[in-house]
Chains A and B, each alone.
Chain A
């Protein structure tokens, strides 16, 4: 190994070594810069240097492999999906006139179901987080937080079964009531579903699934609000409610937003539970929540149609996958933008 590079390796070690080593070696660099004196050949540092090499090679390989995998997935989706662009009603799934006629309503369905799920899960998750950090600071709060986190460990197929067998039938009565009494609101208009397998049910199940993400990320964000801010607000005569509204939530906002966006990504990609719960109608774009006619979602559509797909239908499903990937990517890109914007000025 050339001496120059050798020296750089040793500097890297200094940075990574425990702080007392860093301090003493810093002094050594000033007073006795000759490396062979400081690190005589065969000294323990040399063995460390080779360890660092292994570590560095390993981490570089890991990074490259990850990027290659990501790139490989995109390339695969693009190549395998591209033929579907030329598809016609002859050979596309469900007799779609073009791939876009198929993809548009499904992307709408994915976004709509996810937005509904966020609308339910975000306030609930933030509320649970506030409760467990600020209101019930003792064992009960911790217990509640843990209980919600456990929801994340339930497999999505279990949520699907629960949604299909419990939520859907139980909500039919509520949907009937909503349609009768609040039918003038466009979302609740029309004949309610008799099975309960509506987009509303799917969104509720999704909401429960993403609740732990929202609540655990929000909890950490709220926990990071400095106690000096909280004390400062209380010393000014703020009630707990005002303190939470004006100090805690603004200061935790970027973290909470990050949690919501993470949850949104999860909801967009969720397949199994939606596929089991939602009774989807092809090519439908509708904002109605309670109807038996519901838009489908991309992920569920792929899962349900892949087993029997052949020919160009397979390419079409792959192309749908690429579109979902792109939408999720755009969402998380905007999420980062939002997080950066809202954290500007603080910290």
Chain B
């Protein structure tokens, strides 16, 4: 599913976080958003599933199209948009009152969708397998999701997002709270997910972006009040080997600031 972002502006009250970003994200690929802290990349990500506007005072203008549907057209329901777009957060957040299996099915339960017993079992197995977690948890599906290790919890959250068969998977620094081994497992998983999913990932880790991303978008901000704009966007090899902009070059070489 292609994501077309056109002239997107996002605000927190009077403060602009994203300034006039236009960007077309390819389907069945991993696109990384990189840039210094506060450059608006997480905000941009949260505009793709309309999560930005849950913060009081937050405002978005512009267009985000999934294939041809504009998520921000007046009659669009933000709740329905979020059901189509999966999201994985910085810190693993499995629901503490739910078991592993219940966590995977949480999306259906939360939307009030009923699944038959076999459907549930298939969904749980399918989603956990897709998140490379099935073999590790298949014998304890009824134990609490918070009993898993941090890396497993994050993969559980990925499985939870995948269970609803989202059109797009958004990941907001999914590895920043994880140890290197768990990070490796998630990166490996991203390599498999890209075959069938459109993935957008925010990361501070440039080598991670280099390892997992097909496309890279670099965002920057001139001052805190201006909001982040898109500096350069291209394939991973182009961005890391021959960046066109000097700002991109500086950032990648660690000479920003």
Residue numbers of A with Cβ under 8 A of B are 137-138, 226, 228-229, 231-239, 242-243, 246-247, 250-251, 253, 345-347
Partner of B96 from the list A235, A237, A246, A345 (CB cut-off 8 Å) is A345
User: What count of chain B residues pass the 8 Å CB interface test?
Assistant: 31
B56 within 8 A of A: yes
Which residues of B have CB within 8 Å of A239?
79, 111
A-B contacts counted at CB < 8 A amount to: 81
| Nearest-CB residue, chain B, relative to A239 | B79
Q: How far apart are the CA atoms of A246 and B164 in the complex, in Å? A: 17
Q: How far apart are the CA atoms of A169 and B121 in the complex, in Å? A: 59
B61 within 8 A of A: no
Residues of B116-146 whose CB lies within 8 A of A: 144, 146
Q: A231-B89, A232-B89 are in contact. Are A238 and B96 (CB under 8 A)?
A: no
Which residues of B have CB within 8 Å of A229?
93, 95-96
Which residues of B have CB within 8 Å of A228?
89, 91, 93
B93 touches A250 (CB 8 A): no
| Nearest CB in chain A: distance from B108 CB, A | 9
The 3 closest A-B pairs by CB, nearest first: A237-B83, A238-B110, A228-B93
Q: Which of A233, A250, A347 has the largest number of chain B CB atoms within 10 A?
A: A233
A237 touches B95 (CB 8 A): no
Partner of A247 from the list B83, B89, B95 (CB cut-off 8 Å) is B95
Which residues of A have CB within 8 Å of B51?
231, 234-235
Residue numbers of B with Cβ under 8 A of A are 49, 51, 54, 56, 79-84, 86-87, 89, 91, 93, 95-98, 106-107, 109-112, 144, 146, 157, 160-161, 164
| Nearest CB in chain A: distance from B162 CB, A | 11
A236 touches B93 (CB 8 A): no
A251 touches B87 (CB 8 A): no
Partner of A236 from the list B54, B96, B164 (CB cut-off 8 Å) is B164
| Nearest CB in chain B: distance from A133 CB, A | 13
| Nearest-CB residue, chain A, relative to B107 | A236
Q: A246-B109, A250-B97, A346-B96 are in contact. Are A237 and B80 (CB under 8 A)?
A: yes
Q: How far apart are the CA atoms of A251 and B93 in the complex, in Å? A: 13
B89 touches A234 (CB 8 A): no
| Nearest CB in chain B: distance from A32 CB, A | 35
Q: How far apart are the CA atoms of A229 and B109 in the complex, in Å? A: 15
Partner of B49 from the list A138, A232, A235 (CB cut-off 8 Å) is A235
11 additional A-B residue pairs with CB within 8 Å, beyond A232-B89, A250-B98, A251-B96: A137-B56, A138-B56, A228-B91, A235-B89, A236-B107, A237-B82, A238-B110, A246-B106, A250-B97, A345-B144, A347-B96
Q: How far apart are the CA atoms of A163 and B126 in the complex, in Å? A: 61
B97 touches A237 (CB 8 A): no
Q: A138-B56, A237-B79 are in contact. Are A232 and B93 (CB under 8 A)?
A: yes
A232 touches B157 (CB 8 A): yes
Which residues of A have CB within 8 Å of B83?
236-237
A235 touches B109 (CB 8 A): no
Partner of B111 from the list A138, A238, A251 (CB cut-off 8 Å) is A238
Which residues of A have CB within 8 Å of B95?
229, 232-233, 247, 250-251
B110 touches A236 (CB 8 A): yes
Q: How far apart are the CA atoms of A226 and B91 in the complex, in Å? A: 11
Q: A138-B56, A247-B95, A251-B95 are in contact. Are A237 and B89 (CB under 8 A)?
A: no
